[in-house]
Structure 1
Amino acid sequence: MRNVVLLCLDSVRKDTFDAYARRLDRRIELSYEQCRAASSWSAPSYASMLTGDLAHDHGVCTHDKRVSSIDPSETFLAREAFEGHEAIGVSTNAFAGSAFGFDRFFDRFADVTESNRYPDALDPASLTAESDASGPSAYLEFLREAVRHDRPLESLANGAVGFLDTVSADAPVPKLFDDGARAVIKESKRSITTSREPLFLFTTFMEAHTPLQHIRGFDRSLHSASNGFTTYERSVWELMEATDDHESFLETRRELYDATVDYLDRTITPFLAWLETNTALETTVVITADHGENQGYPCEEGHVRHKSSLSEGLLHVPLAVVNPPDGYPEIEDGYVSHLELGDLLAAFAREEVVDLTRDRVVAEHVGMSAGPEPPERREYWDRLMRAAYEDGRKVVWDSLGNARAYGLDPARPCWQRRVEDDASVPPWAEEYFDEDAASAKRRLAEDGESEDAVDAAVQDRLEKLGYA
Structure 2
Amino acid sequence: MSRHNVLLVVADSLRARNTSALGYRRATTPFLDVFAEEATVYAQARSPSNWTVPSHVSMFTGHEAHEHGIDHTAELDAGHTIFEELAGAGYNTALFSDNPFLTDHESGLDAVFQTAVGSPEQYDSTYETNGSLGDWPNGFWYADRTLEWIDGRESEWAACVNLMDTHRPYEPLAEYDAWSDERSRELQESMGFKWHWEFLSGNLSLGFAGILEQIYDGAVRQADAIFEALIRGLDEQGVLDDTLVVFAGDHGEGFGEPAAIPEEPPAVSHRIGTHDAMYHVPLVVRAPGQRNGHRVTDLATLSRFPDAVRTIALDEEHADGPAFVPPSGRVVASQAPIGSAMREEAERICGDAAPFAKHARLVYRDRPGDEVQKRAAWGDDAHESIVRGRGGTAEDRDIDAAIIRDHFDSERYTNVDIATPLEGYTEFEDASDTQFAGALDDRLEALGYK
Whether the TM-score (by the shorter chain) exceeds 0.5 is yes
Residue 214 to residue 92, structure 1, CA distance change in 2 (3 Å) = closer
Structure 2 residue runs of 5 or longer lacking an equivalent are 416-420
Residue 266 of structure 2 aligns to a residue whose secondary structure is coil
Task: Report the counterpart of residue 100 of structure 2 in structure 1.
Answer: 94
Task: Report the counterpart of residue 420 of structure 1 in structure 2.
Answer: 397
Task: Report the counterpart of residue 333 of structure 2 in structure 1.
Answer: 363
AA of the residue aligned to 2:228: T
Residue 78 to residue 452, structure 1, CA distance change in 2 (3 Å) = farther
Q: 2 CA distance for matches of 1:82 and 1:264?
A: 31
Structure 1 residue runs of 5 or longer lacking an equivalent are 117-122, 124-154
Deviations 1:20-57 (A, max 9, x none): 11221101211111110000011111111111222333
Q: 2 CA distance for matches of 1:81 and 1:43?
A: 22
Residue 24 to residue 271, structure 1, CA distance change in 2 (3 Å) = same
Q: 1 CA distance for matches of 2:183 and 2:222?
A: 17
AA of the residue aligned to 1:407: I
Task: Report the counterpart of residue 9 of structure 1 in structure 2.
Answer: 11
Which residue, out of 154, 170, 180, partners 1:212? 170
Q: 1 CA distance for matches of 2:439 and 2:189?
A: 19
Task: Report the counterpart of residue 70 of structure 2 in structure 1.
Answer: 60
Q: 2 CA distance for matches of 1:434 and 1:363?
A: 13
The answer to whether the Cα contact below 8 Å between 1:85 and 1:197 also exists between their aligned partners in 2 is yes
AA of the residue aligned to 2:18: T
Residue 467 of structure 1 aligns to a residue whose secondary structure is coil
Task: Report the counterpart of residue 25 of structure 1 in structure 2.
Answer: 33
Q: 2 CA distance for matches of 1:178 and 1:256?
A: 18
Larger C-alpha radius of gyration, 1 or 2? Answer: 1
Residue 230 to residue 210, structure 1, CA distance change in 2 (3 Å) = farther
The answer to whether the Cα contact below 8 Å between 2:40 and 2:285 also exists between their aligned partners in 1 is yes
Residue 452 to residue 332, structure 1, CA distance change in 2 (3 Å) = farther
Task: Report the counterpart of residue 269 of structure 1 in structure 2.
Answer: 228
What are the equivalent positions in structure 2 for 1:67-466 lying under 5 Å apart?
68=75, 70-79=76-85, 83-100=89-106, 101-112=108-119, 116=120, 123=121, 155=122, 157=123, 169=132, 179-193=137-151, 195-213=153-171, 215-220=173-178, 222-226=179-183, 229-234=186-191, 235-242=195-202, 245-247=205-207, 249-280=208-239, 282-298=242-258, 302-324=266-288, 330-350=294-314, 351-352=316-317, 353-354=320-321, 355-358=323-326, 359-368=329-338, 371=342, 373-374=345-346, 375-390=350-365, 391=367, 392-398=372-378, 400-409=379-388, 411=389, 413-416=390-393, 419-423=396-400, 425-426=402-403, 430-431=406-407, 433-436=408-411, 447=427, 449=429, 451=433, 453-466=435-448
Residue 292 of structure 1 aligns to a residue whose secondary structure is coil
Q: 2 CA distance for matches of 1:207 and 1:266?
A: 11
Q: 2 CA distance for matches of 1:455 and 1:59?
A: 25
Pairwise CA RMSD = 3.2
Q: 2 CA distance for matches of 1:415 and 1:212?
A: 26
AA of the residue aligned to 1:223: S
Residue 312 to residue 182, structure 1, CA distance change in 2 (3 Å) = same
Residue 322 to residue 422, structure 1, CA distance change in 2 (3 Å) = closer
Q: Which has the higher strand share?
A: 2
Structure 1-normalised TM-score? 0.77
Q: In the TM superposition, what is the alpha-carbon distance from 1:233 to its structure 2 partner?
A: 3.0
Q: 1 CA distance for matches of 2:209 and 2:395?
A: 22
Q: 2 CA distance for matches of 1:205 and 1:239?
A: 26
The answer to whether the Cα contact below 8 Å between 1:91 and 1:203 also exists between their aligned partners in 2 is yes
Q: 2 CA distance for matches of 1:326 and 1:421?
A: 44
Q: 2 CA distance for matches of 1:105 and 1:439?
A: 21
Q: 2 CA distance for matches of 1:329 and 1:214?
A: 29
Q: 2 CA distance for matches of 1:462 and 1:255?
A: 24
Residue 178 to residue 336, structure 1, CA distance change in 2 (3 Å) = same
Q: 2 CA distance for matches of 1:161 and 1:328?
A: 37
Q: 2 CA distance for matches of 1:365 and 1:226?
A: 34
AA of the residue aligned to 2:17: D
Residue 415 to residue 197, structure 1, CA distance change in 2 (3 Å) = farther
Q: 2 CA distance for matches of 1:307 and 1:87?
A: 29
Residue 396 to residue 438, structure 1, CA distance change in 2 (3 Å) = farther
Q: How many residue pairs get matched?
A: 405
Q: In the TM superposition, what is the alpha-carbon distance from 1:226 to its structure 2 partner?
A: 4.4
Task: Report the counterpart of residue 152 of structure 1 in structure 2.
Answer: none
Structure 2-normalised TM-score? 0.80
Q: 1 CA distance for matches of 2:212 and 2:165?
A: 13
Q: In the TM superposition, what is the alpha-carbon distance from 1:266 to its structure 2 partner?
A: 2.3
Q: 2 CA distance for matches of 1:288 and 1:456?
A: 31
The answer to whether the Cα contact below 8 Å between 2:11 and 2:162 also exists between their aligned partners in 1 is yes
AA of the residue aligned to 1:8: V
Q: In the TM superposition, what is the alpha-carbon distance from 1:229 to its structure 2 partner?
A: 1.5
The answer to whether the Cα contact below 8 Å between 2:165 and 2:171 also exists between their aligned partners in 1 is no
Task: Report the counterpart of residue 51 of structure 2 in structure 1.
Answer: 41
Residue 320 of structure 1 aligns to a residue whose secondary structure is strand
Q: 2 CA distance for matches of 1:272 and 1:82?
A: 26
Residue 72 of structure 1 aligns to a residue whose secondary structure is coil
Percent identity over the alignment is: 22
Moved over 6 A (4+): 437-440
Residue 13 of structure 2 aligns to a residue whose secondary structure is coil
Residue 417 to residue 60, structure 1, CA distance change in 2 (3 Å) = farther
